[in-house]
Structure 1
Amino acid sequence: MTIVPVFAAETNNIPSATQQKQAVTGIVTDNKGEVIPGVNVMEKGTTNGVITDVNGHYTITVTNENAVLAFSFIGYVTKEVPVKRQKTLNISLAEEILNLEEVVVVGYGVQKKRDLTGAVTQVKATSLEKERPATVQDILRANVAGLNIGLDNSAKGGGSMEIRGKRSIKASNEPLLVVDGIIYYGSLDEINPNDIAQIDVLKDASSAAVYGAKSAAGVVLITTKKGSAEKPTVQFNASVGISTLAKKMDVYNPQEYLAWREDVQESIFEDHKPGEFSDPNNLPAGVTLEDWISYRPTTGNYTYDWLVRLGLFEPELDNYFAGRTFDWYDETYQKAFRQDYNVNISGKKDKVSYYWSLGYLNNEGIVIGDKYKSYRSRLKLDFDVTSWLSAGVNVQYSYRDQGAIPRSVNQIWANTPYSTPTDLDGNPMLYPTGIDNASSINSAYNDSFIDRSAIRNSFTGSMYAKIKLPFGISYQVNFSPRLLLYNYRNHRSSQHPVWKSFGGDAQRRSEMSYNWQVDNLIRWEHTFAQKHQVEVTLLQNAEENQSWQEIQTTQQFAPSDILGYHRMQAGTVPAISSNDTRNTGDALMGRLFYSFDKKYMLTASVRRDGYSAFGVSNPHATFPSVALGWVFSEEPFFKFPAMDFGKLRVSWGQNGNRDIGMYAALAEMKTDQYIYQTLNGNIDLSNSIYVSTMANKDLKWETTSSFNFGLDFGFLDSRISGNIDVYKMVTSDLLINRSLTETIGFGEVMANLGEVQNTGFELSLRTLNIDAKNFQWNTTFNFSLNRNKVNHLYGDYENVLDDNGNVIGRKEMDDIKNEWFIGKDISSIWTYNVIGVWQENEAEQAAEYGLRPGDMKIKDVDGNKIYDNNDKEFIGYKTPRFRWTLRNEFTLFKNWNLSFMLYSYWGHKAPYQRAKHFEAGTLTKTNYFKIPYWTAENPTNEYARLYSDDKNIGANFYRSLSFIRLDNISIGYTVPKSFLNKFKIEGMNIYGTIKNVGCWAPDWEYYDPEAYNADSPNTVSSTNRTYTLGVNVTF
């Protein structure tokens, strides 16, 4: 009797004879109209299903006309559609903003987004293809909260990288690079951005700790493309562009220049007579020509005399009377042409996956003479040799020509409108304003006497074999060699009027570096009782890095230097030097990942590193980490329907920094020559060898301990998703050069001293604003802030005194020389506070400081009329206090796409050097940028007088560098497949982009604020705006 109901229950799932089966067919595309192969098409409530083919096509027979089909694919929102007697169902799937099943690359493995316990951000390079990023840095720029990318406007492009602030004072703050699972010691410009599939950035210690001593500054993991489609796919991309100067700082035209020189001279010579420097043909009221003549001796040619009074040199005088002027912008900048061509072939067949690419890049910079050319190729093969053995090879080659000789941008203001590159007879001039003014520059003249070549060839490879063992265990071995060849050649001709004094010179420099790494990896993955997921990773690593450098130089070629560096033996003053280096490293690492019921996650790791650069007492160091994750949205008690995903993360870990000199802990030996007198009175040279640096056998690793708390969230079916992270990082045992007393015999020694702290907040927000049939709109917003603080320095203490000189305590001493202060940000600005400009009615007060009206008014903190360190104050920061980015992407009518991106750095300052007008001196008869200046008639408080004075104390006007940049506008058109099928073309996209559209900086009137260089604040910095057109074709 118990059998009957069970049988009846089972038969309820069997279709009745009256139910009619029905065939349904269709094509699945994305919201841009592109077909999606591999989509799962399932009849809901059954095991009946198919997948779409390479053309996105499917055919499925459903059990009845009331069936519901579910369409699902990784990276897209699952869609359920009732059949309703329809025989054709063409489906469009929307991209899923928060794809929890998507794979993220972590150290020595991958994880699903759902399982992540660390602070990891992923950037899909394919999603940015229509913006045509020119470099790897362009893929990352403004797309990762907490990752700062420097600006490089040269033809090469690129820029520095920094994750979550400055962690080290002296060692490197650049993140570790990992390409396809292998630590990468090459340059990013060797990697073709077209080869990149995705980039994952590890920001917290627990994520990066598996790389131990190399990951204190974070890790950037680059994954390149590989073959996946069953049939061969050929892609060709071509783009051309024009770059122009984004912001031109106007200089004075010829007439304005003469008026400016008049003001310069009047400011220099305080006791000048009325109209003394005025045009004798246009004297001010009350001044006669006789008065003017009486001021200074004249030649009878009064215009000539006036120009001499203004400080013009002989060539400028000749040009003035000949009516010749020159715009030095035209001799410095150009409209630069850029070309980028790439082809790749990929596919997968018979257990072999292949990807091959070749790229050619030829860029001109906006500065004349700046150019960069490269060839880059990659071959990636993966083989399933047997059911238990797989192997692969990944080889990258790059050729880079960096022998450019760009014009000196400073020649724009180092010359005047009346100084020309040639004299009246057309002969080129070395000094356009005359031989008496060597500060003037004719860069083109110098460059014409230089022959230079700089070629880099690099080969980077990796080979692996993976064996599947019983019980879910696998073993993999990786071997990764790298070879870099660099050849630099330079010749300065003896035909140059200055270089002929030493007969010309030449240099040949050859460098070769070779390194290899071996990774032995054991992995074990197993799931118990469908809820307990365990992954164990074990690593043994060894590496060796070697380099060889040879330099030949020579001068005084005889009989001629016409062959330059091609015939070094013709030089009669040769010199040869060489330098070889070698270092080694090793590591052991273990990592455990545990997940229970896909809700509770634990990741723990420990890595022990060894490196030959450290002292014999501390060659090894151990770096642990632990992280927890909780998907609280899966808990039964969680009742918030609008929030479909929520996960809390907390992590702690330690990372090391080994990026110091190879022999920083050792006593280095050097050779030299010295002159001595023999007993018989002869002067001779003797070779010597000596110890140049002091050893420190106790030198150890710089260590960063990091705590991170994070929240991952998704709302409204993940139409709103994002991450919030709060962190605190403390870097201790800083690697710093410690000064020594003279009696020791060495000036300094590398030591472990001090502690730096970084705390910060990061927000990443992604939204699907509109998802209609013919219009989609996505937004991505990132925000980050970082606060830095020096906790300790050298451990030297001093007494704290009260007003009566009594000792009331002790405090650690600051480093005044380097401007590092306990409790302050490394980037704090400690300087004199310029509070305005001395005005005419303040002449007596200004005179008390040896200054006069028009000079900077500097705050006298202690009121003793003497400016010293006691008058310096903290007035701001050199690095931004906040950073944010905003990207919007639109798809219209499935074929058109439009995107734009803004980003902002806010809250930092820099010295506005030219507001002092020091350069307007009597000896530098230069042109000048049109910047306001103080006069009695223009009593500004923001700009000093021309040729102002601060008694050499180094005061400056400081201005905010805060800016908002519209960085990129991109538009593309995807040609319909119905049209392309006639030509057997799989896909085609035509696009156009504008890079660096505009920049708004409310308080910075000079050049681009992001291009400001703190190490060279007076250097003219140029940024370019690039217009690009391109086409991407798939066969």
Structure 2
Amino acid sequence: MVCILAAICDFTTASATTIVSAGSKELVLADQKVSGTVLSADDSSPVPGVTVLVKGSTLGTTTDVDGKFEIIVPSANSVLVFSSVGYISQEKTVGNASTVNVSLLSDQKALDEVVVVGYGTQKKRDLTGAVSQINTSKLENENPNSVQDILRGNIAGLNVGMTPSAKGGGSLLVRGRNSINASTSPLLVLDGAIYYGELSDINPNDIETIDVLKDASSAAVFGSKAASGVILITTKKGVEGKARVNINSNVGIGTISKKQPVLGAEEFIDWRGEVMKNINSSYQPFQFENPAGLPSNISLDQWLAYDGSTGDPTTVWLQRLGMQPIEIENYKAGRSVDWNSKVFQTGKRQDHTVSLSGKKDAVSYFMSLGYLSNEGIITGDKFSTVRGRVNLEGQVAKFFSVGINTQFADRDESQVPVDYGLARILSPWGSEFEADGSYKWRPNSEASGGNHPYYARQFIDRRQKITTFNTTLYGLVTLPFGFSYRINYTPRFEFFERFNHESAKHAEWAATGGSASRQNRKEFRWQVDNILKWNKTFGKHNFDLTLLANSEKYQRWDNTMTNKGFLPTDALGYHGISTGINPTVSAYDEYSTGDALMARLFYSWKDKYMVTLSTRRDGYSAFGQANPRATFASVALGWVFTDEAFWKSSWMNYGKLRATWGSNGNRDIGLYSAISDLQTGKYLHVRPDGTVYLANQLYVNRMQNANLRWERTASYNLGIDFGLFDNKLEGSLEVYRSSTTDLLVQRALPDILGFSSVWDNLGEVQNRGIEATLNSVNMNRENFSWRSTFTFQLNRNKIARLYGDLDENGREKDDVANRRFIGHSLDEIWDYKILGVWQVEERDQAAKYGVKPGDFKLEDVDGDGKFTNADKQFQGWTNPRFRWTLRNDFKLFKTLDVGISIYSYWGHKASFNQRKNRDGFLDRTSSYRFPYWTEENRSNEWARLYSSEGGASGFGVYQDRSFIRLDNISLGYSLPKSVVEKIKVSNLKFFFSAKNLGYYAPKWDWWDAEPDQDNNNVPSPRILSLGIDLTL
């Protein structure tokens, strides 16, 4: 909050030194008093809070609530400057006048900032719903590689998942999880048309703005697709003037931000000794210790006699530790391997885009071509794509224009990354190479153990490419009386191919003669939007009506061929797939259709009172025959209360209250979940004569539900938008509550029906939360400015109803098997509570539960001496209880930009079973470097090696995962205007960006404190990049 306080302090300082409140005076050389009134030129109403300055001096004042001011000026030649947010500044020479009255014109640019809403745009002032916008020009120094990079940490209520992959990106979640089984991903809209492709196909350099619709009222115009919010992406268009060529190029590296250390070679030996002590309860003194360090009271012969061993003592010792012959040989030779360095890499990155844009006469154009190539932090992980865009619009006639927005992408996802978990499995005393220098298949042992991380990769040949075309063709007709008609036709093509060959040269695959596969998939979908709009103003009444008729169709064809046993050789790989002896062919096709009708009416009076009404009726082929359609409606109200005559505040210059209600649907389930499907198979048939043969069969595989209907989310939203201290501090506050009913779940069926389950509509999930956004101008000087943005969000959900089944007490049953409990959150942890670790003094008590000192001590709630569901307790949540972000932007000497952003997830827990010290086969593998309990080095947080769970098998260990991350530091230097003019370019900027520099997590010490989009513990990349942006 330092930045927010700075904004207020800066205002106060300015008020104390340069602004004198109405009626007060400064000491001046002359004594000419001037007074007057400032009115709005629109309606002649007084304008309070207008700054009145004597030009070229620090003398000034502000108008009071009636628009009046009084000031002392030095001379008759003094010039007064009148300025206020939302109005065009005006200058007046005093002369000999004692009264100066001024009428200020509205600054439409400030008042009419446009945001994108469904099927159109609106002035920001007219918004009645919860909508947030980000302009990509604010992030141009950060070199975002993906759309998710633009969104991450910049919009309250929108959470972006982290991913360590070279491809980047991450999942998106708006205002928390509102469904159990259906998708919770927001709807994507690209240039006004619903977008079904991947965000990785969109070049961030092509994006102008991104708007996020968060409440049901804003998103209701998208009906059945918008229960999880809507993200609207608007790409760049040509602007008036000569052609502009822009070149944006950057290179960088990605390194692992935090490497989880594995045991070193010597640590591994000590660790193995402790492992053996824990899995052999009757071991002898120093049995697993190095014989070179035996105490004087134990002879070497005695030590060898523990298990009747003979021969080399070092070999005996290492064999007792469970080490294999390869490990023993390498130990004696002093050869060790750091497997951690083999599974991670420093990835090279490059991103280049060239674009051409402009507008001449009746044609505007924007064209771009980009190439992105990234290597991930995991060895072998890489991603590349070529992305192109053409946006054209032409004015065919005064009333008619046509346009096309086309996007092309060709992604290469042929990577074969290593399994970085092998760094923990492989022994540091294993062998990396065979005698001939080739990779050793099994470094630990000739017979078993983990595989070399590079071994399989050398025998895999893979080609996986995805090519997409996404186009919107549109025509716009301007009609009389404020009407307009627009038609959009949006076809989308996707071509997927995955060719894979696993060579018979691999020691394990040799028996099959190698294998190969060729998969080809083609998707085609189209949608047509017919949009009729009416926008008309009658005096102080403004109407904006939108009518929509939409239809869509989706088709997919998927064919796969596989083969094995290539003779005489599989050297041709997937190119010679026909030469195998075990071919299989499979096909999978999909088909769906949908349609919709929508109406939305916006009305405002005096730009002060606003109402938005909408309704949409959707149809979709995936639902049951009884419920193929559903209707979704919304209402929203807005009131600019600071425009009221009674509002007299001098510190709050803008305020608007908003209240909305709306309903949306979720249709994102399987295309055929409502109907039965047929499957083919084979079975053994016995004839009456006893002959057995393999027969073909056709059977019903799934039970239909003709009554299956849409999930429905109804939500309420209360919001306030405000501007304080001449908009030095502005922002918004949102409070929301939603309820999702008719959840799509699989209901269990009695065995007698022949089906285990059927899709049905059951249950209810509720969501509620708070969001806040604050933007502050902390300092604004000629050669220095400082702006900050702070966002805060918290979200809570709970299961209100489940399947309707009642227990013996007449209460609705919980779904214990899936850990879903009525009245509790979807992410609430329910498990045995850990009280600590059993210590040596508690040996007898621990034995009652089948454990011993060094094992975790669990709470026996009912005291019956065993662990059952009755002992499990609710003990926290896996989703953050609240999140916040803070971004600071500085500008120095008009040429240097500095940006610093941090964000935080707080109050949640995650599974941290590593504290059990029982992962994997501890007597055969290595380990990450973790503490462990011993009698000599006791702990109440970490269990002994190979600890026992007793009668509470499978219990989880949970750790607080709260963190604060330094997300990004960016620097941008623009050459001064005088320099760029000399070199005959429009603009030249150099920039540097450092992403994911570090984080503070007081209680988390595992992989990155932030999980990936699937909630897995993974390493994260730290990315450093340098770039140049040149405009000709």
TM-score (norm 2): 0.90
Relative to structure 1, the CA distance from residue 274 to residue 308 in structure 2 (aligned partners, 3 Å threshold; closer, same or farther) is same
Name 1:206's counterpart in structure 2.
Answer: 217
Name 2:157's counterpart in structure 1.
Answer: 146
Name 1:959's counterpart in structure 2.
Answer: 959
Q: In the alignment, does 2:1031 pair up with 1:1022?
A: no
The one-letter amino acid paired with 2:266 is Q
Asked if structure 1 preserves the Cα contact closer than 8 Å seen for 2:793 and 2:884, the reply is yes
Name 1:1032's counterpart in structure 2.
Answer: 1029
> Which of 486, 490, 494 is equivalent to 2:500?
490
Instruction: Could you tell me which runs of 5 or more consecutive residues in structure 1 were left unpaired when the two chains were aligned.
Output: 1-42, 44-63, 86-95, 801-809
How big is each residue's C-alpha offset from its partner over 1:225-258, in whole Å with a ceiling of 9 and x where there is no partner?
Answer: 0001311011001100011110011112111111
> Which of 760, 765, 768 is equivalent to 2:774?
765
Query: In the aligned structure 2, how far is the partner of 1:170 from the partner of 1:834?
Result: 31
Deviation at 1:288, TM superposition (A): 2.9
Name 1:115's counterpart in structure 2.
Answer: 126
Name 2:112's counterpart in structure 1.
Answer: 101
> Which of 515, 528, 533 is equivalent to 1:523?
533
Q: In the alignment, does 2:594 pair up with 1:585?
A: yes
Name 1:426's counterpart in structure 2.
Answer: 437
Query: In the aligned structure 1, how far is the partner of 2:696 from the partner of 2:364?
Result: 60
Relative to structure 1, the CA distance from residue 500 to residue 76 in structure 2 (aligned partners, 3 Å threshold; closer, same or farther) is farther
Matches within 5 A, 1:637-716: 637-677=646-686, 683-716=692-725
The one-letter amino acid paired with 2:504 is S
Q: In the alignment, does 2:731 pair up with 1:732?
A: no
> Which of 446, 457, 475 is equivalent to 2:467?
457
Query: In the aligned structure 2, how far is the partner of 1:69 from the partner of 1:383?
Result: 43
Relative to structure 1, the CA distance from residue 759 to residue 101 in structure 2 (aligned partners, 3 Å threshold; closer, same or farther) is same
Matches within 5 A, 1:855-1004: 855-919=855-919, 921-923=921-923, 925-951=924-950, 953-1004=953-1004
Query: In the aligned structure 1, how far is the partner of 2:627 from the partner of 2:148?
Result: 35
Name 1:723's counterpart in structure 2.
Answer: 732
Deviation at 1:319, TM superposition (A): 1.2
> Which of 252, 256, 264 is equivalent to 2:267?
256
Name 1:625's counterpart in structure 2.
Answer: 634
Matches within 5 A, 1:491-506: 491-506=501-516
Deviation at 1:737, TM superposition (A): 0.9
Matches within 5 A, 1:564-575: 564-575=573-584
Deviation at 1:435, TM superposition (A): 3.0
Name 2:755's counterpart in structure 1.
Answer: 746
Asked if structure 1 preserves the Cα contact closer than 8 Å seen for 2:220 and 2:664, the reply is yes
Deviation at 1:779, TM superposition (A): 0.4
Query: In the aligned structure 2, how far is the partner of 1:108 from the partner of 1:524?
Result: 13
Query: In the aligned structure 2, how far is the partner of 1:76 from the partner of 1:127?
Result: 22
Q: In the alignment, does 2:421 pair up with 1:373?
A: no
Relative to structure 1, the CA distance from residue 689 to residue 387 in structure 2 (aligned partners, 3 Å threshold; closer, same or farther) is same
The one-letter amino acid paired with 1:289 is L
How big is each residue's C-alpha offset from its partner over 1:493-514, in whole Å with a ceiling of 9 and x where there is no partner?
Answer: 1111111111111111000000
Q: In the alignment, does 2:276 pair up with 1:265?
A: yes
Q: In the alignment, does 2:536 pair up with 1:537?
A: no
Q: Which moved more, 1:944-953 or 1:446-455?
A: 944-953
Q: In the alignment, does 2:558 pair up with 1:559?
A: no
Asked if structure 1 preserves the Cα contact closer than 8 Å seen for 2:161 and 2:1013, the reply is no
Relative to structure 1, the CA distance from residue 600 to residue 76 in structure 2 (aligned partners, 3 Å threshold; closer, same or farther) is closer
Query: In the aligned structure 1, how far is the partner of 2:784 from the partner of 2:712?
Result: 50
Deviation at 1:865, TM superposition (A): 1.0
Q: Secondary structure at the match of 1:521?
A: strand
Query: In the aligned structure 2, how far is the partner of 1:845 from the partner of 1:240?
Result: 62
Q: In the alignment, does 2:329 pair up with 1:318?
A: yes
Q: Secondary structure at the match of 2:164?
A: coil
Matches within 5 A, 1:783-862: 783-800=792-809, 810-862=810-862
Deviation at 1:680, TM superposition (A): 6.4
How big is each residue's C-alpha offset from its partner over 1:84-108, in whole Å with a ceiling of 9 and x where there is no partner?
Answer: 99xxxxxxxxxx9994421000000
Relative to structure 1, the CA distance from residue 906 to residue 319 in structure 2 (aligned partners, 3 Å threshold; closer, same or farther) is same
Asked if structure 1 preserves the Cα contact closer than 8 Å seen for 2:162 and 2:1013, the reply is no
Deviation at 1:747, TM superposition (A): 1.0
Q: Secondary structure at the match of 1:435?
A: coil
Relative to structure 1, the CA distance from residue 867 to residue 456 in structure 2 (aligned partners, 3 Å threshold; closer, same or farther) is same
Query: In the aligned structure 1, how far is the partner of 2:824 from the partner of 2:209?
Result: 38
Asked if structure 2 preserves the Cα contact closer than 8 Å seen for 1:916 and 1:956, the reply is no
Relative to structure 1, the CA distance from residue 831 to residue 385 in structure 2 (aligned partners, 3 Å threshold; closer, same or farther) is same
Query: In the aligned structure 1, how far is the partner of 2:297 from the partner of 2:402?
Result: 94
Q: Secondary structure at the match of 2:259?
A: coil
Deviation at 1:559, TM superposition (A): 1.5
Relative to structure 1, the CA distance from residue 281 to residue 98 in structure 2 (aligned partners, 3 Å threshold; closer, same or farther) is farther
Query: In the aligned structure 1, how far is the partner of 2:93 from the partner of 2:302?
Result: 103
The one-letter amino acid paired with 2:308 is P
Query: In the aligned structure 1, how far is the partner of 2:949 from the partner of 2:475?
Result: 69
Deviation at 1:956, TM superposition (A): 2.5
Q: In the alignment, does 2:354 pair up with 1:357?
A: no
The one-letter amino acid paired with 2:989 is N
Q: Which moved more, 1:553-562 or 1:291-300?
A: 291-300
Relative to structure 1, the CA distance from residue 848 to residue 958 in structure 2 (aligned partners, 3 Å threshold; closer, same or farther) is same
Q: Secondary structure at the match of 1:842?
A: helix
Matches within 5 A, 1:140-289: 140-284=151-295, 286-289=297-300
Name 2:104's counterpart in structure 1.
Answer: none
Query: In the aligned structure 1, how far is the partner of 2:1014 from the partner of 2:535?
Result: 51
Name 1:804's counterpart in structure 2.
Answer: none
Relative to structure 1, the CA distance from residue 310 to residue 348 in structure 2 (aligned partners, 3 Å threshold; closer, same or farther) is same
Asked if structure 1 preserves the Cα contact closer than 8 Å seen for 2:253 and 2:1025, the reply is yes
Query: In the aligned structure 1, how far is the partner of 2:365 from the partner of 2:1016?
Result: 48
The one-letter amino acid paired with 1:483 is F
Query: In the aligned structure 2, how far is the partner of 1:677 from the partner of 1:333?
Result: 57
Deviation at 1:1014, TM superposition (A): 6.6
How big is each residue's C-alpha offset from its partner over 1:547-584, in whole Å with a ceiling of 9 and x where there is no partner?
Answer: 00001011111111111110111011000010111000
The one-letter amino acid paired with 1:1008 is D
Query: In the aligned structure 1, how far is the partner of 2:304 from the partner of 2:91?
Result: 97
Q: Secondary structure at the match of 2:341?
A: coil
How big is each residue's C-alpha offset from its partner over 1:609-656, in whole Å with a ceiling of 9 and x where there is no partner?
Answer: 000000010000000000000000000001111100000000000000
Q: Secondary structure at the match of 1:281?
A: helix
Q: Which moved more, 1:540-549 or 1:309-318?
A: 309-318
Deviation at 1:297, TM superposition (A): 2.9
Name 1:58's counterpart in structure 2.
Answer: none
The one-letter amino acid paired with 2:937 is N
Q: Secondary structure at the match of 1:330?
A: helix
Query: In the aligned structure 1, how far is the partner of 2:94 from the partner of 2:978?
Result: 28
Asked if structure 1 preserves the Cα contact closer than 8 Å seen for 2:163 and 2:1012, the reply is no
Asked if structure 2 preserves the Cα contact closer than 8 Å seen for 1:319 and 1:424, the reply is no
Asked if structure 1 preserves the Cα contact closer than 8 Å seen for 2:216 and 2:227, the reply is yes
Name 1:393's counterpart in structure 2.
Answer: 404
Asked if structure 1 preserves the Cα contact closer than 8 Å seen for 2:385 and 2:409, the reply is yes
Relative to structure 1, the CA distance from residue 911 to residue 771 in structure 2 (aligned partners, 3 Å threshold; closer, same or farther) is same
The one-letter amino acid paired with 1:209 is A
Query: In the aligned structure 1, how far is the partner of 2:86 from the partner of 2:146?
Result: 28
Asked if structure 2 preserves the Cα contact closer than 8 Å seen for 1:910 and 1:1014, the reply is no
> Which of 477, 484, 487 is equivalent to 1:477?
487
Query: In the aligned structure 1, how far is the partner of 2:606 from the partner of 2:921?
Result: 75
The one-letter amino acid paired with 2:256 is L
Asked if structure 2 preserves the Cα contact closer than 8 Å seen for 1:97 and 1:766, the reply is no
The one-letter amino acid paired with 1:859 is E
Q: Secondary structure at the match of 1:287?
A: coil
Q: Secondary structure at the match of 1:812?
A: coil
Asked if structure 2 preserves the Cα contact closer than 8 Å seen for 1:514 and 1:545, the reply is yes
Q: Secondary structure at the match of 2:454?
A: helix
Q: Secondary structure at the match of 1:331?
A: helix
Matches within 5 A, 1:82-93: none
